[in-house]
Amino acid sequence: MIVGGPEREANWLNLAPDATHMMFRQYIADDRVQKLYDITVERIDEPESLPTAAEMQEELAEKLTNASGFIRHMAEPYIKISRGTLARPNEMLPLSPEARGALGANSANAYWLGSWDLDETEALLIEFTPVPAEYWSLVAHNTWIQALPQTQMQMQLNMLEASRDEDGKVRFVVSHSDPGYANWLSTGDLRRGFLALRVTNKQGEENVAAHKVTLDELAAEMPDNSPMVSSDERRLAVETKRRQILTRYGR
């Protein structure tokens, strides 16, 4: 792929004059069938040159300013979105186009953000009606929008992992303890946390709804035949994911 410069017939991405950074994302739903891509970046419009001693201080200062500016640029919208989401617990709300732009998100994607505020007797039930998409996942985070440790608990489910009920909906249960439903997400014992549902390159409009229930009410809220798993099956799923991630990152 060529980024910037004169337009080319294929594999060309226009570069705006004020562009300062590029972002690469890869979504892996199952490490058994997908692998990380190899990527290198090379400037090709002029020969590589070494800075002279006279240039180094000013150019280094400019680069440090750009780096700190990028961090500030990304941190501010995340803080704003996090605070707004945490102020409306136990809901799932779509991310606005303006907010997507501030985060550098792809306009072809949909993002639903939410949070939980639950005690040990409660659960958040999320009903998701998916549409055709290249990828989707629901991920549990702490209040700093750091994903919970996937090597230790079931804190995310994607389109290949989640089970659908007979009505076509995917029902996620977020709670401290494991209620036995296949689409359970652990809170990591956090009273409050952050949820992000991403739908990538979708066709159509998905539907998402969430509400808080007690664990005693959960069975009445779920379809009678909603998939269940045993504690041994849950441990095996977490262990399989742990091994995949350790292999993916060469640990």
Under the banding of pLDDT at 50, 70 and 90, the label for residue 27 is confident
Q: Which two tokens stand for residue 219?
A: 């069975």
Instruction: Give me the pLDDT at residue 51, please.
Output: 62
Calculate mean pLDDT across residues 77-94: 92
Say what the pTM is. 0.82
Q: Is 182 exposed, middle or buried (0-12, 13-18, 19+ CB in 10 A)?
A: buried
DSSP bridge partners of 91: 115
Tell me the domains of the chain and their CATH numbers: 84-248 (2.60.40)
Residues 142, 186 contacting (CB under 8 angstroms)? no
Higher per-residue pLDDT: 31 or 119:
119
Give the pLDDT confidence of 37-56 residue by residue, as tens digits: 888 888 888 776 666 665 67
Q: Which residues contact 246 (CB under 8 A, 6 or more apart)?
A: 151
- CA–CA distance from 112 to each of 82, 94, 97, 148 (Å)? 12, 4, 12, 18
98/92 Cα distance (integer angstroms): 18
DSSP bridge partners of 124: 174, 212
Helix (H, G, I), strand (E, B) or coil at 220: helix
Give the pLDDT confidence of 93-119 residue by residue, as tens digits: 998 888 877 777 777 789 999 999 999
Percentage with pLDDT > 90 across the chain:
62
Instruction: Give me the pLDDT at residue 21, please.
Output: 75
74/99 Cα distance (integer angstroms): 11
Calculate mean pLDDT across residues 140-164: 94
Q: Which residues contact 104 (CB under 8 A, 6 or more apart)?
A: 23, 74
Query: Is residue 201 over pLDDT 70?
Result: yes
Q: What is the mean pLDDT of the chain?
A: 90
Instruction: Give me the pLDDT at residue 223, please.
Output: 97
Q: What are the residue ranges of helices labelled H in 87-166?
A: 97-102
